[in-house]
C-alpha cells in the first residue's frame, strides 16, 4: 500500500467551474471524519464539498460522498483513483465552485477524478513496506567501530542509547532482518546481542 508523502491542494478549472482537491494524511476513520468536517466548515460557501477516504493497513475501510452532485459522479470517481493507486491513510475533499455551465455525469466524473489524480502527482507518494526494529547491544569498547561500520553499510541508526552497554536500534526491511542480525554479529566478532522488535510499516518514497 501507499500513502501521500505530504498534504497538499491543487485547483483545476473545467468550463468555468473550479475544482480544488485537498489531500490529508489520516490514521483512522475518526481522523478522516474530523479533517473533512473542518474542511466543510471552512468552505461553506462552496457549491459542493465531495469526499473520499481510505484507511487501514490494507486499505480495508473506504467511504465517499457526492455531497449533492448526481449520484456516482463525484465521491466514487474520487475513491476509485485512491484505490487504483493502492493508497491508504488518506482523505480527499474536492471543493467545487460552480461556474454556470453544466458538465453532465461523464464530465463531472472526469473532473473529480482528474483533480484528485493531479493532486496526488503533485504531493508525491510513499510506499508502505514491512519493517522491523532491530536493536544491537554492544560494549562501549566496540561501539565506535560498530557505529562506523553501520554508517558505512546503512541504514543509519534510528536511536542510540548509552547505559551499561550501547543499544543501537535500526529499522530494516522485515525480509532482511535476519541478514542484518547476522551482519551485526559478524561485525562485532559475535559479541553483540541482537533483539528483534515487533513488525510494522515504514515509508519509502515512490519515484515520480
Q: What is the pTM of this model?
A: 0.74
Residues 33 and 87 in one domain: yes
Q: In Å, how far are 13, 14, 39, 42, 49 from 45, measured between CA atoms?
A: 17, 19, 11, 8, 10
Residues 19 and 39 in one domain: yes
Q: For the chain, how many structural domains are there in total?
A: 2
Residue 91 has pLDDT above 90, yes or no: yes
Residue 205 has pLDDT above 90, yes or no: no
The predicted structure's pLDDT at residue 46: 96
Domain endpoint, select from 75, 93, 123: 123
The predicted structure's pLDDT at residue 165: 95
Residues 118 and 46 in one domain: yes
Domain endpoint, select from 123, 139, 155: 123
The answer to whether the Cα torsion of 13, 75, 86, 134 is positive or negative is positive
Q: What is the mean pLDDT of residues 105-116?
A: 97
pLDDT band at 123 (very low <50, low <70, confident <90, very high): very high
pLDDT in tens, 4-29: 999 999 999 999 999 999 999 999 99
The predicted structure's pLDDT at residue 153: 87
Residues 31 and 76 in one domain: yes
pLDDT band at 2 (very low <50, low <70, confident <90, very high): very high
The predicted structure's pLDDT at residue 134: 93
Q: What is the mean pLDDT of residues 188-206?
A: 86
CATH of the domain at 179: 3.30.70.240
| Lowest mean pLDDT across 33-47, 71-85, 114-128, 184-198 | 184-198
CATH of the domain at 22: 3.30.230.30
Residues 199 and 141 in one domain: yes
Domain endpoint, select from 123, 145, 163: 123
The more confidently predicted of residues 159 and 39 is 39
Residues 142 and 119 in one domain: no
Residue 155 has pLDDT above 80, yes or no: no
Between CA 115 and CA 104 the distance in angstroms is 17
Residues 161 and 72 in one domain: no
30 close to 51: Cβ distance less than 8 angstroms: no
Residues 151 and 111 in one domain: no
Alpha-helix runs per DSSP H in 54-204: 75-84, 104-123, 140-153, 177-187
Residues 13 and 109 in one domain: yes
Domain that holds residue 80: 2-123
The predicted structure's pLDDT at residue 130: 87
Residues 15 and 116 in one domain: yes
63 close to 52: Cβ distance less than 8 angstroms: yes
Residues 13 and 113 in one domain: yes
Residues 97 and 167 in one domain: no
Amino acid at each position: 500500500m501507499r500513502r501521500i508523502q505530504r498534504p497538499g491542494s491543487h485547483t483545476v478549472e473545467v468550463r468555468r467551474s473550479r475544482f480544488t482537491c485537498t489531500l490529508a494524511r489520516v490514521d483512522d476513520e475518526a481522523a478522516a471524519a474530523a479533517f473533512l468536517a473542518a474542511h466543510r466548515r471552512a468552505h461553506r460557501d462552496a457549491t459542493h464539498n465531495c469526499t473520499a477516504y481510505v484507511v487501514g493497513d490494507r486499505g480495508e475501510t473506504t467511504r465517499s460522498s457526492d455531497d449533492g452532485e448526481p449520484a456516482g459522479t463525484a465521491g466514487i470517481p474520487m475513491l476509485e483513483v485512491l484505490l487504483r493507486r493502492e493508497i491508504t491513510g488518506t482523505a480527499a475533499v474536492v471543493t467545487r465552485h460552480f461556474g454556470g455551465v453544466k458538465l453532465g455525469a461523464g464530465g463531472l466524473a472526469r473532473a473529480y477524478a482528474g483533480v484528485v489524480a493531479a493532486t496526488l502527482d503533485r504531493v508525491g507518494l510513499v510506499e508502505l513496506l514491512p519493517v522491523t526494529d532491530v536493536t544491537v547491544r554492544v560494549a562501549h569498547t566496540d561501539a565506535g567501530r560498530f557505529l562506523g561500520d553501520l554508517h558505512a553499510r546503512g541504514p543509519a541508526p534510528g536511536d542510540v542509547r548509552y547505559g551499561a552497554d550501547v543499544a543501537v536500534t535500526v529499522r530494516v526491511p522485515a525480509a532482511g532482518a535476519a541478514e542484518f542480525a547476522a551482519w551485526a554479529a559478524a561485525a562485532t566478532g559475535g559479541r553483540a546481542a541482537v533483539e528483534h522488535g515487533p513488525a510494522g510499516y515504514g515509508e519509502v518514497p515512490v519515484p515520480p
